[in-house]
Amino acid sequence: MVKPFLRAGQKIVVPYGYPIVDTTIKYTYETMEMDIRDLKARYPFLETGVAGKSVLGRDLHYIRLGSGPNQVFYNGAHHALEWITTPLLMKFAEEFLKAYTEGKNLSHGYDPRDIWSKSSIYLIPMVNPDGVDLVLNGLHPDNPYYQDLLRWNKGSTDFSKTWQANVRGVDLNHNYNAAWQQSKNAEAAYGIKGPGPTRYGGTAPESEPEAKAAADFTRSHDFRLVIAYHSQGQVIFYDFMGMAPPEGKTIAEQFAKVSGYSLGRSTGIASYGGYKDWFIQDYRRPGYTIEVGRGKNPLPVSQFQQIYNSNLEIMLLASII
């Protein structure tokens, strides 16, 4: 879809009736930045900010929906191939804001004004912008890690079907301090000898600025619940080594009911070092990894609407449950 308007530098020229977030395209970091600016211009009361920076200095943007004391946090695109989770959160923000300003209910009768007064929904739509750029735009000679990335990617400048890591070859969802050493110990069994497309956990927990930023952002708030969006499988993971609180499974069952997704338990190296693992371990509060869609990553944008429809009520319910 080509939007019937133009952007002129920092100034928005998007007529109110037209959507800002285009969910029919490959959703790049630059697109996300423009959309955040346009949402802020259309809804000046919207709180936006920067939670940190990537290895290459890209801002890790956050959005806050609501002003209430019940704080929740949803993030997307820890993994580069899973960039479809970014427009999922961005479209949610746009539709929530539109319904809020118009005084209309969202899906299944949720009242955004009621949620706004009770809760604060924080979003970091793209945790791994450098990795997403590699997947969507390829490797260019001006990248300071050019030679390393070529070697790690078996000599190819095409990262579109293989790359989950950040620009230093670290899998951000294995870079949190939750059984991190067990993840490192398991790498050899998976043929992982150092930086590469996936599963390499880095040199230490939070060695990567993107993972540290997400952890610091969490530490600076009082989140009652978190969701890390990934793809694919239509599965909800809710536990970490038996540390999830009893309500963690109960809430997961509610998420499964409204989405049609199934509940799952991680096995092998996938069981360690993830964001929700760390949150459950350190806070003993409900944390979730939700795998959206079905197929092989990167999922096609043709799946977006189904993914959105399946997850909209999860994101609304999670803010008040």
What whole-number distance in Å separates Cα of residue 108 and Cα of residue 119?
18
Interior CA angle at 63 toward 134 and 275, to 5°?
A: 60
Please, which residues have CB within 8 angstroms of residue 181's CB and are 6 or more apart in sequence? none
Percentage helix, strand, coil, to 5, in the chain? 40, 15, 45
Structure tokens at 31: 């697109």
Q: Active-site residue 206, yes or no?
A: no
Task: Name beta bridge partners: 122.
Answer: 64, 73
* Continuous H helices in the chain: 29-42, 85-102, 112-118, 129-137, 146-152, 180-187, 209-219, 246-259, 275-283, 304-318
Greatest distance between any 2 Cα atoms in the chain: 55
Task: Tell me which of 82, 94, 187, 291 is the catalytic residue.
Answer: 291
Which residues are annotated as catalytic? Answer: 291
